Structure 1
């Protein structure tokens, strides 16, 4: 009986280990073979009205964000060790670093492609999660005292934080993102990153923008052009009413704990 119990024990341990690996890999996944899948939205495409129209959400989610995921899967197929052993957050954080590039023998053109497409994956996964239905979430109902006090000390109020985020996003030249980030010293800051760069990127994000994203707003024109044309400020004025403060609080707790992969799951 002892060998059977030992075998059963080994099988259970392997199952737990395998489950842990799958969890640690992070989201968005869903294909069962360590490739990535486009995460579902929490609302239907018309659930973001009146801030964002359903056609924009459909195209943004399926074509732009979905296209980046397809590109990442195609690149990682050439690097199975990288695909099978590195989480999305770790990939985004370390892409372009010499040691990381050398370890996985990543070609220069694939480094650039992963910067753009894996950056898009994590950026959009955070973006989808941070939004809820229009004007239904309030900071008073969801922020815990420590985060509320930190926001108030930094910007005067949650509304002041969103005003500062809108101002920063409006000032960004060209395409990119505006973020509220948590820094290792316990402070909060608003930063901008160009294109699909992310504040986690050690190699490509400017040091002044480094931090863990708590929320981010997409200011590529594909995020708003059908409804707002080129008037980014009008989009931002409406977008702030989609912020899910419960997720802001959740992301803050995860950032403090260093659970970066859970931010976009």
Structure 2
């Protein structure tokens, strides 16, 4: 499939693929400000980690994605539509766009999935809460399964809560900067709309927690933005 044919036949299907989970607006090659101060997630996530994670790592993904798109002669407008179907890209560009495009998209979501402790619901409520309890038996069982997905991810990667194409909730995990929207990269059974994700790369927690990833995950639940997750769930089900 050539690039022109891909764009004309797939744009409608992919237009929402790399939107924010609320599907309210497309991402671009700019970095939105954090929705809270870097120190706002303390003591659970420290300000130094947030400054480095946001200001260095995420910024680098955006810069390298721009370089990769330029080298492949792909416009910024096309990029967000194309990055969810990596195999449709020129082969020489696939790795750089997969890694850096995924890094940009995943982190843009990640910042919104967190909020200062006490600023919103302490757990999933409403239809989201009902769906989690129905699917995983209880909120605690869900957290255990999700936490295990993060702990058992060898090396770097992410744990995810997704809405599958048949509207069901599922916990998954991906390596590196892959995510559950990446057709042809992620197993078909694990494709879906991410409504919550946890970064388990060491740069997300090592300054405070060192090698104690389970401690980081346990603390992270205190800053999950359940209101944002609920919005993503409602949008994915719409």
TM-score surpassing 0.5? Answer: yes
- 1:225 aligned residue: 206
- 2:62 aligned residue: 69
Aligned residues: 216
* Alignment RMSD: 2.0
Q: Distance in 2 between matches of 1:196 and 1:244?
A: 21
CA contact (8 A) 2:53 2:204 kept: yes
Q: Distance in 2 between matches of 1:126 and 1:158?
A: 22
Check if 1:56 corresponds to 2:49. yes
179, 184, 206: which one aligns with 2:165: 184
Once the two structures are superposed, the pairs formed by residues 103-182 of structure 1 within 5 Å of their partners are 106=90, 108-138=91-121, 143-144=125-126, 146-182=127-163
- 2:11 aligned residue: none
Q: Distance in 1 between matches of 2:60 and 2:178?
A: 16
The alpha-carbon distance between structure 1 residues 135 and 155, as it changes in their structure 2 partners (threshold 3 A), is farther
CA contact (8 A) 1:178 1:218 kept: yes
Question: Mean alpha-carbon deviation: is it higher for 173-182 or for 155-164?
Answer: 155-164
Larger Rg: 1
The alpha-carbon distance between structure 1 residues 165 and 135, as it changes in their structure 2 partners (threshold 3 A), is farther
Question: Mean alpha-carbon deviation: is it higher for 120-129 or for 76-85?
Answer: 76-85
Q: Distance in 2 between matches of 1:131 and 1:159?
A: 19
Q: Distance in 1 between matches of 2:71 and 2:234?
A: 36
The alpha-carbon distance between structure 1 residues 202 and 57, as it changes in their structure 2 partners (threshold 3 A), is same
199, 207, 215: which one aligns with 1:234: 215
CA contact (8 A) 1:92 1:200 kept: no
Deviation at 1:93, TM superposition (A): 1.5
Q: Distance in 2 between matches of 1:84 and 1:211?
A: 23
Deviations 1:49-99 (A, max 9, x none): 01111110000001111100001111222455542335x2x3331112xxx
- 1:95 aligned residue: 86
DSSP 3-state at the match of 1:77: helix
Q: Distance in 1 between matches of 2:70 and 2:191?
A: 29
Deviation at 1:37, TM superposition (A): 1.1
Q: Distance in 1 between matches of 2:138 and 2:36?
A: 28
Higher helix share: 1
Check if 1:248 corresponds to 2:237. no
CA contact (8 A) 1:60 1:223 kept: yes
Q: Distance in 1 between matches of 2:51 and 2:193?
A: 28
